[in-house]
Structure 1
Amino acid sequence: MKSIAHAAPAVDVQAAPKLHKRNVALDRARTFLTLVVLLHHAVIPYTHFGHTDPTSWIGFDCVVLATDSFFMAMFFFLSGLFVWPGLGHKPWLIFLRDRLLRLGLPFVICAVTVIPIAYYAIALRETPELTFSEFWRKTMIFGPWPSGPIWFVYVLMTFDLTASLLYRVSSRLLEPINRLSIKGFDHPWKFWLFLVVVSATVYVPLLVRYGPYYWFEFGPFSVQASRVLLYAAYFFVGAGIGAANFESGLLSAHGRLTERRWFWTGITVIPYGLMWVMIYIKREIIGNPNPLPGWYLSIYGTFFVLFSASILFAILAYFLQSKSSGPTLLDRMQGDAYGMFLVHYPIVLWLQYWLFDFDLPAIAKAAIVFFGTVALSWAATAMLRKLPGAKYVL
């Protein structure tokens, strides 16, 4: 349960450094993923496994299994794409200042405001007489102090700071990944295989060691134990692709990846279906033991990394080949996407709280929560960005 509740996320990936021409395809992919985050959080109470609302629908379990299995890794991948050239064109201290302003400041503000407001809705359901001031004081002083989806922000800042140190050691550290990206222009399957092998190497052992639900936590600083190195791998693989030769590498709009978009879409179905097979085995054959046996976690983790890498390629292929002219809804939302991620969580939880006692189908409740969250978080971000200096952060 905890891995899902924390799993969201989006993103300081909305803006590439000014030294690069904007990549419309990647902008649209980032904004699309932000909407996926909002959808993920909107439907969780209406799943059979979560079922914190009186109603549920099995289709939402299918949605959550898919989203939780790829979107955070993909956010880190996209976040890493322009880090290396940014480090090459900015003084080190300026880069650090920008990261602290863009990531550190929002994390601190959200940790003491947005997140307590969000989780108060859950606490109020359990203790109706609890006041917000009592809840806030208990959270700040005694804990637990959950970070909700903003864990992504501080982890991304940690990766950025790590990248800045590695760049100072050698600006050529990621050249092997970049060379493989160039080969990926004609043979994307080679890069896919590389990503799968790296992902399995860093993810499966930690999954077996810690299981799928354990989080490293210290106050509002938390990260899922089994996935922390997986996220780091996706971030630095993205950084390697973006280090040089971007337009002649894997993510070129004219590369082989875009020509095989339906192939990659089809490939995702296989590991996704196999994950459901493993879930059936866990629940119906081995009796859902706790802890899960290592052999089970190893097999499930392998299917997980296969799905994550495949759907990454499928989504990127779709947006890279998209020929939509003129501003789309994703283009209009792009500038506000990061802010929407930061402010959406209390909106989604309070809409779910409000709808709890209504006698409505799960699909209707989820639709109200999703579209309401999109509209309200977008409006709130647009207003916040009008504050002096806010656009430097949001």
Structure 2
Amino acid sequence: MKASRGPPGPWESTPGGRLNMDGSSATETTRLQALDNLRVFVIFLVVVLHGSICYMAYAPEWWYVLDPHRSMAFTYLVLLVDVPIMPAMFFLAGYFAFPSLAKRGAVRFVKDKLVRIGVPWAFGALVLAPPTAYMIYYSRNLPMSLATFWRTDFWGKAFQQSVYWFLGVLLLLFLLTALAFALSRRFAAWKPEIRRPTWRLFALFVLTMSAGSLLIGVNHPLDQWSHVYVLVYQPARVPLYTGYFILGIVACRQGWFTGQGYRPAPFRWLALCLAFGLLYLTGRIAFPATGQAIAVTAATVLLFNLFCFSSLMAGVALFQARLGPERFFRRSRARNSYGIYYLHPLFLYPLALIFVPLSLPLAVKAAAIVLLAYLASWGVSAAILTRLPGLRRMF
């Protein structure tokens, strides 16, 4: 992409493009196009996930819009898609964090992240999340106005941040990384080197993530949400947020996915991804998420993490194997991935509500609301968020 494409989203580093390990702009040398494509795909899966929940059997009772006709097929889809997408986003954020720190310094880095992530997070959590949460009441014809909901229930039993929770957690990780950079000379002086990871490292990472999730998951199931003051998160997945972010930093410093660095084998990782995904899905279907013996919970958590990690590597491997010329629509989707993530709930759930009374197959409904919401978010992001001077600074 050309340097004139505008400021990056939270996964990127500089207005002129990402930074390479030597600190130069990615537009000056070779861009890691596979990670761009992976990010675009992950954002699309986020929209697929949120649309599919509207049609899954045994959907969360609080979900924004629930179609009266639902299917187990969407339950299976949700169980699979839900696993790898957020760890992949934290990994991508971590991958591009250190080069930006090295070039900008901790103070400039923090100022940049406060603008690019902090402001959109605050606006999303305070202004956009309440109307989105109100869809829970509106879609069920509960007698409460949006204004009343905003003043009362939203700050109590209905408090949430919609998709904007990710920005709050990500901002915290960026701030902690900047603090470590400022306080630790060794961390700040960490030089890039080409080092291929071992299977022992991969196994240790997966086991560490599994142990962390299991310790928390004894009291908090994998799917449970919670919040501490302004931070909203899933407790059992906190180790994954942090772990994949740190793994991204390590991967960048060791040159993973570069021309001379580690390049995952597509067939091997795809086979592992499919195998672990099938095992995880079978386990989730056979055993409920709660009330199981510790051995069952441990097995579920381990399969979750094996599927999550193999999905990340399979995604990178497949996009590296299928690199092609950067065409306009591919560049545009990459440029607007942040905006698509940010805007899609504003289109997706009203569309789901509009489609409720229509006599259409569930697959048609789901595909329609996902594609329409994705295209609408992409269009608004391309036309407004990445063009207007004030918003362009953020998105």
Q: Is the 8 A contact 1:115 1:345 kept in 2?
A: no
Shift of 1:58: 3.0
**Structure 2 residue 255 is the aligned partner of structure 1 residue 265:** no
Name 2:137's counterpart in structure 1.
123
Once residues 36 and 320 of structure 1 are traced to their aligned partners in structure 2, the CA distance between those partners, rounded to angstroms, is: 19
Once residues 12 and 205 of structure 2 are traced to their aligned partners in structure 1, the CA distance between those partners, rounded to angstroms, is: 23
Deviations 1:70-98 (A, max 9, x none): 11011101100121122111132111111
Name 1:32's counterpart in structure 2.
41
Q: Is the 8 A contact 2:32 2:258 kept in 1?
A: no
Shift of 1:153: 0.4
Shift of 1:215: 2.9
Name 2:78's counterpart in structure 1.
64
**Structure 2 residue 219 is the aligned partner of structure 1 residue 212:** no
Q: Is the 8 A contact 1:122 1:349 kept in 2?
A: no
TM-score, L = length of structure 1 = 0.86
Name 2:202's counterpart in structure 1.
192
Of residues 74, 78, 101, the one that matches 2:115 is 101
TM-score, L = length of structure 2 = 0.86
Q: Report the aligned-residue RMSD.
A: 2.5
Q: Is the 8 A contact 2:133 2:154 kept in 1?
A: no
Shift of 1:235: 0.2
AA partner of residue 257 (structure 2): L
Q: Is the 8 A contact 2:52 2:366 kept in 1?
A: yes
Q: Is the 8 A contact 1:147 1:222 kept in 2?
A: yes
> 5+ unaligned residues in a row in structure 1: which ranges?
1-10, 283-287
Shift of 1:191: 4.1
Name 1:391's counterpart in structure 2.
392
Shift of 1:60: 2.1
Q: Is the 8 A contact 2:276 2:306 kept in 1?
A: yes
Deviations 1:28-82 (A, max 9, x none): 1111111111111111111122183122233322321121111101110110012
Name 1:92's counterpart in structure 2.
106
Shift of 1:321: 2.5
Shift of 1:194: 3.4
**Structure 2 residue 26 is the aligned partner of structure 1 residue 12:** no
**Structure 2 residue 243 is the aligned partner of structure 1 residue 233:** yes
Once residues 228 and 109 of structure 1 are traced to their aligned partners in structure 2, the CA distance between those partners, rounded to angstroms, is: 24
Give secondary structure in 1 for the equivalent of 2:232.
Answer: strand
**Structure 2 residue 180 is the aligned partner of structure 1 residue 182:** no
Name 1:339's counterpart in structure 2.
339
Name 1:371's counterpart in structure 2.
371
Name 1:293's counterpart in structure 2.
293
Give secondary structure in 2 for the equivalent of 1:210.
Answer: coil
Q: Is the 8 A contact 1:217 1:223 kept in 2?
A: yes
Shift of 1:391: 1.1
Q: Is the 8 A contact 1:177 1:237 kept in 2?
A: no
Shift of 1:207: 1.6
Compared CA separation, residues 393 and 151, structure 1 to 2 (3 A): same
Give secondary structure in 2 for the equivalent of 1:217.
Answer: strand
Compared CA separation, residues 326 and 272, structure 1 to 2 (3 A): closer
Compare 73-82 and 87-96 and name the one that shifted more: 87-96
Deviations 1:134-176 (A, max 9, x none): 2222245545321111111010010011111112233544999
Name 1:43's counterpart in structure 2.
52
**Structure 2 residue 158 is the aligned partner of structure 1 residue 144:** yes
Name 1:361's counterpart in structure 2.
361
Higher helix share: 1
Compared CA separation, residues 290 and 84, structure 1 to 2 (3 A): closer
Once residues 212 and 376 of structure 1 are traced to their aligned partners in structure 2, the CA distance between those partners, rounded to angstroms, is: 31
AA partner of residue 183 (structure 1): R
Compared CA separation, residues 220 and 42, structure 1 to 2 (3 A): farther
Once residues 193 and 199 of structure 1 are traced to their aligned partners in structure 2, the CA distance between those partners, rounded to angstroms, is: 10
Name 2:5's counterpart in structure 1.
none
Shift of 1:367: 0.9
Q: Is the 8 A contact 2:115 2:394 kept in 1?
A: yes
AA partner of residue 273 (structure 1): L
Shift of 1:354: 1.2
Q: Is the 8 A contact 1:146 1:220 kept in 2?
A: no
Once residues 303 and 176 of structure 1 are traced to their aligned partners in structure 2, the CA distance between those partners, rounded to angstroms, is: 33
